[in-house]
A and B are shown apart, each in its own frame.
Chain A
């Protein structure tokens, strides 16, 4: 119930294409869903996040789609660029004072020029 399942494990996309990464969760108490981007040797950087009261959030080329009934959310990267090549982690947390993030297993994205 505490897991967040992420797919695919790795993804190769051509420059200018759309990258799509999917996550699924079981715990309906989760109410905050961020995506992190991590380059090799660096710490994860918060990319975009969504609450379950909205179905979509867009920031620049990055969009989160959220399906509450299916307990799934996804990251779409439009017009993917070689600089987007990184590992992406979805995560989830639930309300309360624990501040605990549950991370997905990660997706290694390679955008080919």
Chain B
């Protein structure tokens, strides 16, 4: 299985809602990532988990809360989002960097709209 899956595909939420994005991989990768991508822009790193521990937080607002319950799952909990948070949220996974190879595999993304 060489796939990263993400659910849901689309999500519409109000500014007072709480929702969660889910990501799963079964490639045995021990590094997992959340990215945010706006239209016509490159992916922007939000969080990195390495061996289920948060290793990088790119100064993301606390209304985004990541969670890595086990080596195959990654969640992103959303609360009190703003309309400017509307974007494609991408999950990726990779081996923990080995000999300079950083081969990240991306999921299809969750298209989030905040009303």
1/0 per residue, CB under 8 A from A, across B40-82: the answer is: 1111010010100001100000000000000000000000000
Q: How many residues of A contact B (CB 8 A)?
A: 27
The answer on a CB contact under 8 Å between A106 and B102 is no
- Pairs across A and B, CB under 8 Å, 18 listed: A34-B104, A41-B88, A41-B111, A42-B108, A43-B6, A43-B106, A43-B108, A43-B109, A44-B90, A44-B106, A46-B103, A95-B100, A97-B96, A98-B55, A99-B48, A100-B45, A101-B45, A105-B41
Chain A residues, CB < 8 A from B40: 87, 106, 108
Partner of A32, one of B43, B55, B102: B102
Q: Does A93 contact B (CB under 8 A)?
A: yes
Size category of the binding interface on chain B: 20 to 34
Known: A43-B106, A43-B109, A99-B94. A51 touches B45 (CB 8 A): no
CB of B7, distance to nearest CB on chain A (Å):
13
Query: What residues of chain B have their CB less than 8 Å away from a CB belonging to chain A?
Result: 4, 6, 31, 33, 40-43, 45, 48, 50, 55-56, 88, 90, 92, 94, 96-97, 100-109, 111
Interchain CA distance A89-B92 in the complex, whole Å: 15
Interchain CA distance A5-B109 in the complex, whole Å: 25
Closest 5 CB pairs of A and B: A103-B42, A43-B106, A93-B102, A31-B100, A95-B100
Instruction: Name the residue in B43, B55, B90 with the highest tally of chain A Cβ atoms < 10 Å from its Cβ.
Output: B43
Interchain CA distance A44-B41 in the complex, whole Å: 12
